[in-house]
Amino acid sequence: MTNIILLGPPGSGKGTQAKLLAERIKRPHISTGDILRAAKGTELGDHASEYMNRGELVPDSILISMVEDRLANPDCASGSILDGYPRTIPQADALNRILSSLDRRIDLVINIDVPDDRLITRLSARRVCECGATYQLTFNPPKKEGICDLCGGALYQRDDDTEESVQNRLRIYKRETQPLIEYYENQGLLTAIDGGGSIKEISGEIYAHVK
């Protein structure tokens, strides 16, 4: 069983790396941000997007029951890669309860560390596609401007990648999520990765730890 958490500030590369690792080790990639964005148009999705667009966290109660449902899905029986959850101490405590009720445990927590100025550069030039692909105009551009390499769809900017929202996400990350580094360090589960290298270098380093 392989249950892995990717921790890190907004723009650190959690989504990029979780996707690569999921393909490599054949475990589902669970991104709570992606699940909430995919719920757009439903009552839950519209309620969540009010928080998301401001760069605030969606309430713990919503996230905890969402993750509990997702982890009960049979595709998670031999493990999963969590990206963007947990983000608060109550979410982490709930995850321990959820996993132990399923007779599972966390195997590894990877913290991707990137300095603030680089996070802002990355997010301001991020472009995404409905198919789930993510680009960065300088470091990881699409072959054809504005068009997804994988599906030919039109690329767009996420609603929460405005400068104001990014600043707020960083502030909230420091207050609510950064304490999880010490939380998992104390449980002997944390591995820190320097997220400043290339996407390929970082994925190689993560895989070396997972193996």
- Please select the residue that binds Mg ion; options are 15, 55, 86, 195, rule is CB under 5 A: 15
Burial of 55 (C-beta count, 10 Å sphere; 0-12/13-18/19+): buried
Distance CA 151, CA 147 (A): 8
| Residue 8 interacting with Mg ion (CB under 5 A) | no
Smallest distance, Å, CB 167 to ligand AP5? 12
Question: In sequence order, what are the beta bridge partners of 83?
Answer: 6, 31
Rule CB under 6 A: choose which of 7, 10, 22, 129 binds ligand AP5.
10
Q: Is 58 in the site for ligand AP5 (CB under 6 A)?
A: yes
Output b/e per residue, 186-203; b: 16+ Cβ within 10 A. eeebbbebebeeeeeebb
Active site annotation includes 37: no
Question: Among 4, 7, 20, 63, which residue sits at the site for ligand AP5 (rule: CB under 6 A)?
Answer: 63
Separation between Cα atoms, residue 160 and residue 141, nearest integer Å: 20
| 104 a catalytic residue | no
Q: Which does 110 bind (CB under 5 to 8 A by kind): ligand AP5, Mg ion, none?
A: none
126: annotated active-site residue:
yes
Task: Answer yes or no: 158 catalytic.
Answer: yes
Other beta carbons within 10 Å of 183: 17
Is the dihedral angle over the CA atoms 88, 168, 202, 124 positive or is it negative?
positive
Is 169 catalytic? The answer is yes
Does position 13 interact with Mg ion (CB under 5 A)? The reply is no
Q: Which of 27, 70, 104, 126 binds ligand AP5 (CB under 6 A)?
A: 126
By CB neighbour count within 10 A (0-12 exposed, 13-18 middle, 19+ buried), where does 105 fall?
exposed
Residues of this chain that bind ligand AP5 (CB under 6 A)? 8, 10-16, 32-33, 36, 51-52, 55-58, 63, 84-85, 87, 91, 122-123, 126, 134-136, 139-140, 160, 169, 198-199, 202
Active-site residue list: 14, 87, 126, 158, 169
